[in-house]
Structure 1
Amino acid sequence: MSFQDIFGHEPTITRSAPGRVNLLGEHTDYNGGFVLPTAIPQETTVSLSVSEDGLDHIYSADLNERQDLPRNGQPEGFAKYVQGSVRVLEQKASIPPLNIHVSSNVPMGAGLSSSAALEVAVIRAVNDLLKLGLDGVEIALLAQKAEHRFAGVMCGIMDQMASSVASTREMLLLDTLTLERKLIPLPEGYEVLVMDSGAKRRLAESGYNTRRAECEKACELLGIASLRDAELSDVDRLPEPLNKRARHVITENARVQEALTATAERFGELMNQSHASMRDDYEASHEQVDALVSLLQQHQDVLGARITGAGWGGCCVALVKAGTARQVSEEVLKAFNETGGTGRLVVPQ
């Protein structure tokens, strides 16, 4: 149902934010490293007006779910991200009670940053409603804080930065330590294919926070501030499984750096290596994703493929010859789903 259907009047303001797919640089953002995402066409849209009864009224059109809450209430599910994003803005200004309508075509639980798109869209809408003057980086940092405090996921900054400042036409090279960034073109003659494995996950219930804690412990044992400062030779000084976690982060940072000047063929090889590292060293893949990635990697029009997002299910991304994405997806999905998979095409739409 529309905003008018739910609240009886038109919204005062409507803003959107995209999901993202990460080509290289997984689990490096909370380790002070480098990432290489791009925005996807799918977006989350948030419409607002001021509430007249002192409560936040939050409605999801996709879930057909409504929650009516005081500002200091205990939201559940999707509303944690929504009200959490409003509450972190209260450090910037007095925020009135709000009517909030959410709609989205970013797949949830698929590793495409549906939560970041929601957070950024909410903060963008409130920012413009109240003319707070926040820029894209400030919005991303507030969205990250909302995810930490209210969703319980100690994420890095990549997802929120990609949703806030990335482009669907280019890759965003982001230094997550300094937030220095630039947009760079995709390898010429190739396009991005994103497919959902059908294996759902929720980060707060997965090994995400455990992996982050393991990285922090590795830094403590090595006497460094972040794994960005580690060398590959340092891995041998760490016990299992911390050595494997550190090896993934160190080699993944190196892959992002190499990709900036790599040929298209080498870029694909780096994506394949990244998936193997996520599967074997970070142990953050999923058997359904591994099967889908393997089928993609065997296809003649695919240069490379890997899991994307934090892992434990969700989507994979492939670099394919321009103009072949739909055909590749049809052929790969046919083989994948014949073995019991439930995959589907996400990008291109």
Structure 2
Amino acid sequence: MRVVGAFRESYGVEPAGVWHAPGRVNLIGEHTDYNDGFVLPFAVPWGVNAAVSPREDGVVRLRSLQAAGEPVTLERLDAAQGWARYVAGVFWALREAGHRVGGADVVIDGDVPQGAGLSSSAALEVAVGTALNELYGLGMTKMEIALASQKAENDFVGMPCGIMDQAASALGEEGQALFMDCRSLGTRNVPFDLASVGLQLLIVNTGVHHSHAGGEYGDRRRDCENAAAHLGVDALRDVTDLADALGRLSGDERRRTQHVVTENHRVEAVIGLLRAGKVEEIGALLNASHLSLRDQFEVSCAELDVAVESAIRGGARGSRMTGGGFGGSAIALVADDRVESVRASVTGAYAERGWAAPEIYPAVPAAGARRLA
């Protein structure tokens, strides 16, 4: 395993273990998680491997095979820079919760495409959190690891994300999508076996890098919180009469509310179709989700719109942007016999505009965080 060799080369000893956490793709339920709503992601085959050993001197030494990192101490975790802040944030969150976590030597190796909207940051956090949970005997559940990872990203890194990414990374199961109520934190698996019905879910990585720490993502979250306050509800998930709510709002708050409420309904509709064995019928709901994200939540971009529109022209049953937006990836539900047609349509549309060809690859639900060695 490459990460073990790198650990040995960096620190002169074998690691205490290697832990893996996957990225995720969100089938549907976008920007609903921090509105206490519903989401339906699944873990993907790509992720982060973390080789880790504990230390007794309070030092956290970090190395990534993809980027540089400098050692930090438990007393000065805030000195971490760049990707290392996600790791330092996990140490910080666990210690803030009262867990007795010491230092560690860490080597990271990841193959989640960064900036593709597949949540490489959550995979990094959950891999490290899973390792520390075992090494220091913390006794945390997978959901507790996900929540600590979310706290690291919210309060240490400064990215106001919901719980979906970390939960999918921690709790994912092979062949299953993960339905999650982001208020109660209740979850249940929903079978998502595309191969048995001759379908594939293609990821179209636009190559447009996004960064959500603050900025427009934070603006969208504030719009939703302000709308909920004006409507007198705890969160937009509580809106039961959409027409009445829209009549009481205007501008951005009105548009954000319309997306969140209808997106929650789409999640429930997709789950109903999947449980009824009608996977091929979810395409129209994917299309509707994208239009709502584009027009009501305003988080799409030209590259995502072209990917979605050209995938549908090429024969996809449905397509939408996935992830927080402003770049990243789209997904397309495609019959096996139309995969090449969809690939050609999307790459051709990009070529016509002089854009670099997007990466296109199938995704299947994979297992969540676990120890590898």
TM-score where L is the length of structure 2: 0.89
Q: How far is 1:70 from its partner?
A: 1.5
Q: C-alpha separation between the residues in 2 aligned to 1:198 and 1:340?
A: 13
Select the residue among 235, 238, 254 that pairs with 1:229: 238
Q: C-alpha separation between the residues in 2 aligned to 1:196 and 1:39?
A: 16
Partner of 1:172: 178
Q: C-alpha separation between the residues in 2 aligned to 1:52 and 1:327?
A: 57
1:261 has 2:272 as partner: yes
Tell me if the contact between 1:191 and 1:323 (Cα under 8 Å) persists in the aligned partners: no
1:312 has 2:326 as partner: yes
SS in 2 for 1:77: coil
Q: C-alpha separation between the residues in 1 aligned to 2:143 and 2:339?
A: 32
Q: How far is 1:255 from its partner?
A: 0.5
Unaligned segments of structure 1, at least 5 residues: none
1:207 has 2:216 as partner: yes
1:93 has 2:93 as partner: no
Partner of 1:68: 71
SS in 1 for 2:23: strand
- Give the AA of the match of 1:313: G
Alignment CA distance shift 1:83-1:307 (3 Å): same
* More off after superposition, 7-16 vs 53-62: 53-62
Tell me if the contact between 2:35 and 2:236 (Cα under 8 Å) persists in the aligned partners: yes
Alignment CA distance shift 1:124-1:248 (3 Å): same
- Give the AA of the match of 1:201: H
Q: How far is 1:346 from its partner?
A: 4.0
* More off after superposition, 44-53 vs 269-278: 44-53
Select the residue among 330, 337, 344 that pairs with 2:351: 337
Tell me if the contact between 1:193 and 1:348 (Cα under 8 Å) persists in the aligned partners: yes
Partner of 2:15: 11
* More off after superposition, 322-331 vs 282-291: 322-331
- Give the AA of the match of 2:110: S
Q: Comparing both chains, which one has the higher relative contact order based on Cα–Cα distances under 8 Å and sequence gaps of 6 or more? A: 2
Unaligned segments of structure 2, at least 5 residues: 365-373
Q: C-alpha separation between the residues in 2 aligned to 1:52 and 1:93?
A: 15
Question: Residues 130-209 of structure 1: matches in 2 within 5 Å?
Answer: 130-186=136-192, 188-209=197-218
Q: How far is 1:335 from its partner?
A: 3.6
1:26-69 per-position Cα deviation (integer Å, ceiling 9, x unaligned): 00001011111111100101111133654211111112x12111
Aligned-residue sequence identity (percent) comes to 38
SS in 2 for 1:255: helix
Partner of 1:289: 304
TM-score where L is the length of structure 1: 0.94
SS in 2 for 1:203: coil
Partner of 1:129: 135
Alignment CA distance shift 1:348-1:261 (3 Å): closer
Alignment CA distance shift 1:286-1:326 (3 Å): same
Tell me if the contact between 1:39 and 1:166 (Cα under 8 Å) persists in the aligned partners: yes
Alignment CA distance shift 1:57-1:325 (3 Å): farther
RMSD: 1.8
Runs of 4+ off more than 6 Å: none
Q: C-alpha separation between the residues in 1 aligned to 2:337 and 2:234?
A: 44
Q: C-alpha separation between the residues in 1 aligned to 2:71 and 2:359?
A: 35
Partner of 2:40: 36
SS in 2 for 1:59: strand
Q: C-alpha separation between the residues in 2 aligned to 1:126 and 1:324?
A: 45
Q: C-alpha separation between the residues in 2 aligned to 1:309 and 1:44?
A: 18
Tell me how many residue pairs correspond in the alignment: 347
